[in-house]
Structure 1
Amino acid sequence: MSSSDGTAADASWERSDGRSRPPPTVNTIRRIRQACTNCRHRKTRCSGERPRCMNCRRVDRVCHYEPYSATNPPSSASVAANNGAAKGKSPSSLFPRTGVVDPELLNRINTIESQLAQLHSQGLIGFLNGENQNGSVAFPDLAAATSYQEVSPKFTEPSPPQHQYPPSVSETADTVPDMSSTMRFTTAPPPAVIAHLIDAYFLHVHNQPYSYFHEQSFRERVNYGLIPKCLLFAILASALKFSDSEYFQGSIREATEAYAREAWLAILHEHLTVENNPTLQVAQASNILGVVDFTCGRTSSGWLKIGLAIRIAQDLQLMKEPKNTLPPIEQEEHRRAFWSIYLLDKLVSVGQSRPPAIAEEDIHVQLPSDEETLRRGIWKKTPTLHQLINWKSETESSVNGTFTQTILAATALGRCCRYVLHGREMDEMPPWDPRSDFTLLNTFLLLIDHHLQVETPSIPQIVEQYRRPDGTLDFQSLEHVVFARIVFHTAHCLLNHPFLLRMRLQKSNCKVPPKFLTRSFQISCNHARSISSLVEDAIASGCHVQSSFYAYASILAGGILSLAIHIDQEKGQVTDPETLSHYQKAIQILERTGRRWDHASKMHLQLMLFDANYHSLAALLDSQTPEVDPKLESALWLMVDYVAMSALNETALTPPPLSTDTFLSPLNAQMGLENNDGFTGLAPDANSDPNVAFLGNGVPL
């Protein structure tokens, strides 16, 4: 029997009255009146027990029974009863012997049962047992909280179910339920708050730089309740940093952690089980949660979640072209989900012994289309990554979308990190040899420069290209242009970083040309200045510049410029005022970024501490110096390792000074700032800046 026939049979059985069913016997299979929502969607037999059926108890899942009217169309008898009631007749007078129950009463009873089941599953049943000290009982907005449970992709509705939203949004949008905040954030917020966070997500997070959705289709799926809980809560957690809703006033961090935790538990309990296979939405949610954890300092947890997203993407064959039977919008969402996972895999691999998990040679899916093509929902042929990064390709390939620019820059960054950070086996050629990997990487960066057109046009000119007729900016296209250039300059800074080159040459035991390290250092300084200039121009032009990766790019650039300032001071030379200005810009960028991202506030302090406590750095450029001081080596590793500086680790915040003598930062010395405790005058005050109030215990507030 088909599923549609079975549904019709169930509905027919539910409409029949008690006299048409035979009395139960010992051998008769007991059939329940209504299955819970989860069992109905999974087409499994439901025991019908209240408040939770056996299946939901077994997997520790919230059990929700829909109102009878949602699954049981009113019979002709009930319609007649309602018509009679409208004429002033009571239902009992119309049906004195049949025992037909008022459907409105059944609906109310079922709603109460659903609320009790939800309260029991959340551990709030104590409210009904007198555990509430103030004597008031507050029921959460269960309609909104339970409408985003997992729904089968085959399930469709002609219109959004009416029971998803509370009767009055204005009464719940800006009020706080009378329960502990911990419990308040274990369920979805009111619909108006969800809509606000989704708006914030598409304005500040989507395509900056990760891109997963076709916006219009996603909003429609939200309205129909077709977004799995894991994905919805992951989006709420990622958007909270950009929210100004009164609903989360004073609880942004708490709500972010609670929503991220609920999303992860939903992945574990509802998708990573025997009877459920991970879907595209699970891969998207896991990747989003990886960013949330990584930027909050939980780098190991974030690393594992990103790894899970990669494995799910490989299991779903996202690295290959999606089936052409899928609608163009779904095909593009598959591609963008994969490329977002690929991008994050490259960015979080900027650390020692953190190699990326996705190999370029295993990718066969074409690159994302431009934003306008995606919005129109049409298919467009785009080149593959292999075609764009191959000088010898016979295909006339071009960069069609700004997301592709970010992917190209991330590919270059990944290759540079593999060379300088991941402990790759030494190639036989020294870096100055034309056949060496170092030379090949510089050639590859030249190719990426050709695609990105890094030098021209300028950021203000690019911004005007993405200005709509009404004067607003197309942030979803524009932000990729800025981000790709920042990543490109970051790759150059890493490849030519004097410390990383010294560590590599230290293992090769070869004679180094006198000018090699000096020239490489000058290249890294030029690109470090380009990072601060780009960010400053982007901010002045109205771009968001809110990606978490900007924090790492800024501390890397600031660290290189700090080296240049120290080395000039040790040599008795006057530092170029432009270098001082760009160093100050890097400090300001970190301070600005730290207002939203936990790891950025730590990097801000880390750069200040490094500048104040370490000197005698000119030896890095001296090819005759055999080895780098071990303490200085440890401090310099912390200035280039994205994973180490993002982790919650006190040693990353307070590196031990090389000397007990009071040392004045060369930048502060030239600016007339002095502090007797050995720290720079620009160091943030823990009493005035909430972003650095974690100095006491190493844990940010």
Structure 2
Amino acid sequence: MSTTTTSAAWQESSRPQAPQSSGSGGIRRIRQACTSCRQRKTKCSGDRPRCMNCRRVNRSCHYESYSATMAAMAANPLAAFPPGFGDPDLLRRLSTIEAQLARLSEQGAQEASASRKYSDQSLEDAASPSRPSISSQEYGFEGQQHRLSFSMPSPLNQNDANTQPFSTMPPDEIVQHLVDTYFIHAHNQPYAYFQEEHFRQLLSLMILPRCLIFAVLASSVRFSNHDYFQGRTHEAMESYARQAWLSVLNEHLTVENCPNLHVAQTTNLLAIVDFTAGRTSSGWLKIGLAVRIAQDLQLMKEPSPMLPIVEQEERRRVFWSVYLLDKLVSCGKARPPAIADEDCHVQLPCEEEVFRTGTWKQTATLHQLLNWNTDLGEIRGHFTLAILVASALGRCARYVLHERETDDVLPWDSRSEFAAINSFLLLTEQHLHVEDLSVNDIIANNTLPDGSLDHQTVGHAIFARVVFHLCHCLLNHPFLLALRLQKLKSKAPSSFLSRSFQTCSEHACKIPALLDQAQKAGCHVEASFYAYSTCLAGSVLSLFIHGASSKSQEPHELLEPGQQCLSILKDMGAFWDHASKMHTQLVNFDAHAQAFQRLIDPHASFEIEPELEALLWSMVDYGAMCGSSRSTSPEGQLPVNLQSPSFLNFDVDFTASSSFDMAGTESLSGVQFTA
């Protein structure tokens, strides 16, 4: 079929025509019906602003967005053409273009005029049977010539008086830049929703929904240094996230539309944006929505073998990403996870290199992975290891953070949940090879063919080890242990507390050391959860630095990892609001950590007053750390030699002249306090 013939056929199909029989062989124009006609199942003329039926009965006429009525066409673009008609690849391209032009007609004559040039060029490209297939290399920075502007408003709209900045899709080259940025800095950190090549192909074919594109832009713009966002990165992120959420509400969460895999991906991405920006309630609700959508789509079970292999694995990875986020945000007071391990029947993700090639591989299930008796050999998939550690984190959080009914079994009893979790962590340590593999070993084992570092693979490996150390910090945290003992009204053996405190301080040292080594080796230490892990480790180190005694290490040996915590949080603060907030919290907590000397003395009893308990909770609760930067100050005098309310006010910058007597003690920030 020549280009001229194709253009003629397109022009003919775009004009209003009388209905043709299915055997006529013509290309039929897909006309959108108004909401009233669709509900009454009557033929609609499609006239704007009111169709003929609505004018006749003087009824209001409403047209939903074109994307809401084209779900079936997007899934099967050839459905509108007679069987055996023309070249399938050509028809798919023509159908895609027709759908996008119909959507364009709703955006106004101004945008349609600006996009006409691209539409003509797209028809010429689509009509050429010799056009090469799409490859992933075409969509890096070199691939910016592929245009998407027919579905994205002109950048001139950014300055329109009636349009909020960044409320419309940015120019094509900016979209491509942010997609590149996403796969460099956000993909597999630790959430994995896409196969990169598949995502880029769907993006180029305009098949991805608007909500998902905006969500990806909102997730990646924080890492961008493009001049387009100079000085307005935060504004762009908030606007893109808002547009993504509005698109979800208006186009997917309606009576006539059921959420799909793209909506699950979108809501999970937006939950991270909200939670880390301090909108913890909104983020918590979006996480719950993502969980319910995933369950509604049956993502916890094996996908249909009729789906392409890449799509099968994407469905698995979307579920496990939702699972991961559900476990991570449960590190807070009274925030139980929504997904139980017993309900996860889908196999675990395959290795990254297998996924990239689009091949299938049988992997274990979570149930098999958690069983000591299952012989799995060496687990090579780092994403699988991240999921294993997240399961362990979920058990730790449930035991120490969720205020569940305390059983009568004491932690040092071999039948206790404390002992069971330690056994689970031993299983996890065996799979991780924590002591056998250094950061340099991990990097050496995960390089690309050109010898460069494979960030997408290394990201999961580093993440799994950080969370493993975090589990030990939570399980053996002096404050959380003291709370449990206080509820049990029992005094623990000093030997048990000494070992627990030693374990806690050792693993707290390893978190910043691991992240610092990874950062110096060129890894991207940018996962949002690293901020919580680092801040909690730093607060633990601060307790032991200022404590009356430390059986495992001298206070000066803890200073370097403590200062590394501050440095890591400061660096992460350039990208993440909550990391910057946690940096301030940690500095201010460290200024008064000496108030808790007796908390880490295994021979002393320590009654936790409500005011001190509130402060200590704020240093272990992920939601509280991400939430409001100003803590509520209790009334009355605190049982330490300092003034209230400054003790609990994390917005106040404390100095060495604080009323707290810290003579001869050095802080995390390196300040030497003198009398």
TM-score (norm 2): 0.77
Matches of 1:199 and 1:643 in 2, distance apart? 30
> Letter of the aligned partner of 1:637 in structure 2?
W
In the alignment, which of 610, 622, 632 is matched to residue 642 of structure 1? Answer: 622
> Letter of the aligned partner of 2:509 in structure 1?
R
In the TM superposition, 1:53-68 aligns within 5 A as 58=62, 61=65
Match of 2:454 in 1: 474
User: Structure 1 residue 172: deviation in Å?
Assistant: 7.1
Match of 1:218 in 2: 199
> Letter of the aligned partner of 2:567 in structure 1?
Q
In the alignment, which of 263, 267, 279 is matched to residue 282 of structure 1? Answer: 263
Match of 2:649 in 1: none
Distance 1:562 1:232, change over 3 A: same
Match of 1:50 in 2: 48
In the alignment, which of 191, 195, 218 is matched to residue 176 of structure 2? Answer: 195
Distance 1:478 1:281, change over 3 A: same
In the alignment, which of 339, 343, 346 is matched to residue 324 of structure 2? Answer: 343
- SS of equivalent to 1:596: coil
Match of 1:382 in 2: 363
Q: Deviations over 1:469-525 (max 9, x none)?
A: 423111110111100000000010000001000000111122321222222111100
User: Structure 1 residue 33: deviation in Å?
Assistant: 8.2
Distance 1:57 1:263, change over 3 A: farther
Distance 1:573 1:387, change over 3 A: closer
User: Structure 1 residue 574: deviation in Å?
Assistant: 9.8
In the TM superposition, 1:363-378 aligns within 5 A as 363-378=344-359
In the TM superposition, 1:112-123 aligns within 5 A as 117-118=106-107
The 8 Å contact of residues 37 and 64 in structure 1, kept in 2 or not, is answered as no
Matches of 2:259 and 2:224 in 1, distance apart? 30
Match of 1:293 in 2: 274
Match of 1:595 in 2: 574
Distance 1:35 1:585, change over 3 A: same
Distance 1:63 1:310, change over 3 A: closer
Q: Does residue 627 of structure 1 match 2:607?
A: yes
User: Structure 1 residue 596: deviation in Å?
Assistant: 0.8
- SS of equivalent to 1:201: helix
The 8 Å contact of residues 346 and 356 in structure 1, kept in 2 or not, is answered as yes
Matches of 2:430 and 2:477 in 1, distance apart? 23
Match of 2:31 in 1: 35
User: Structure 1 residue 594: deviation in Å?
Assistant: 1.1
Matches of 2:393 and 2:270 in 1, distance apart? 23
Distance 1:367 1:166, change over 3 A: closer
Distance 1:400 1:463, change over 3 A: closer
In the TM superposition, 1:529-544 aligns within 5 A as 529-544=509-524
Match of 1:234 in 2: 215
Moved more, 178-187 or 414-423: 178-187
The 8 Å contact of residues 326 and 339 in structure 2, kept in 1 or not, is answered as yes
Matches of 1:37 and 1:226 in 2, distance apart? 21
Matches of 1:37 and 1:215 in 2, distance apart? 36
> Letter of the aligned partner of 1:468 in structure 2?
L
Matches of 2:573 and 2:282 in 1, distance apart? 21
The 8 Å contact of residues 195 and 310 in structure 2, kept in 1 or not, is answered as yes
In the alignment, which of 423, 435, 440 is matched to residue 443 of structure 1? Answer: 423
Q: Deviations over 1:160-197 (max 9, x none)?
A: 9x996449x9x978x88432595342221111111101
In the alignment, which of 463, 485, 508 is matched to residue 488 of structure 2? Answer: 508
Q: Does residue 462 of structure 1 match 2:460?
A: no
- SS of equivalent to 2:164: helix
Moved more, 640-649 or 461-470: 461-470
Q: Deviations over 1:414-447 (max 9, x none)?
A: 1000100111222231111111110111110000
Distance 1:166 1:281, change over 3 A: closer
> Letter of the aligned partner of 2:476 in structure 1?
N
> Letter of the aligned partner of 1:221 in structure 2?
L
Match of 1:419 in 2: 399
The 8 Å contact of residues 383 and 398 in structure 1, kept in 2 or not, is answered as no
Distance 1:533 1:114, change over 3 A: closer
Identity among equivalent pairs (%): 48
Q: Deviations over 1:525-552 (max 9, x none)?
A: 0000000110111011110010111110
Instruction: Count matched residues.
Output: 584
User: Structure 1 residue 275: deviation in Å?
Assistant: 1.0
- SS of equivalent to 1:189: coil
> Letter of the aligned partner of 1:337 in structure 2?
V
Distance 1:587 1:324, change over 3 A: same
Which one has the largest radius of gyration?
1
Distance 1:446 1:622, change over 3 A: closer
The 8 Å contact of residues 143 and 166 in structure 1, kept in 2 or not, is answered as yes
Matches of 2:493 and 2:566 in 1, distance apart? 34
Matches of 1:300 and 1:178 in 2, distance apart? 33
Distance 1:253 1:350, change over 3 A: same
- SS of equivalent to 1:196: helix
User: Structure 1 residue 139: deviation in Å?
Assistant: 6.2
Matches of 1:275 and 1:237 in 2, distance apart? 27
Distance 1:650 1:60, change over 3 A: farther
Distance 1:397 1:224, change over 3 A: same
TM-score (norm 1): 0.75
Matches of 1:629 and 1:477 in 2, distance apart? 46
User: Structure 1 residue 612: deviation in Å?
Assistant: 1.1
User: Structure 1 residue 50: deviation in Å?
Assistant: 3.3
Matches of 1:437 and 1:64 in 2, distance apart? 50
In the TM superposition, 1:547-696 aligns within 5 A as 547-568=527-548, 575-620=554-599, 621-622=601-602, 624-625=604-605, 627-651=607-631, 659=640, 661=642, 675-676=656-657
> Letter of the aligned partner of 2:180 in structure 1?
D
The 8 Å contact of residues 347 and 410 in structure 1, kept in 2 or not, is answered as yes
Unmatched tracts of structure 2, length 5 or more: 1-8, 21-27, 71-76, 79-96, 120-128, 135-144, 645-653, 670-675
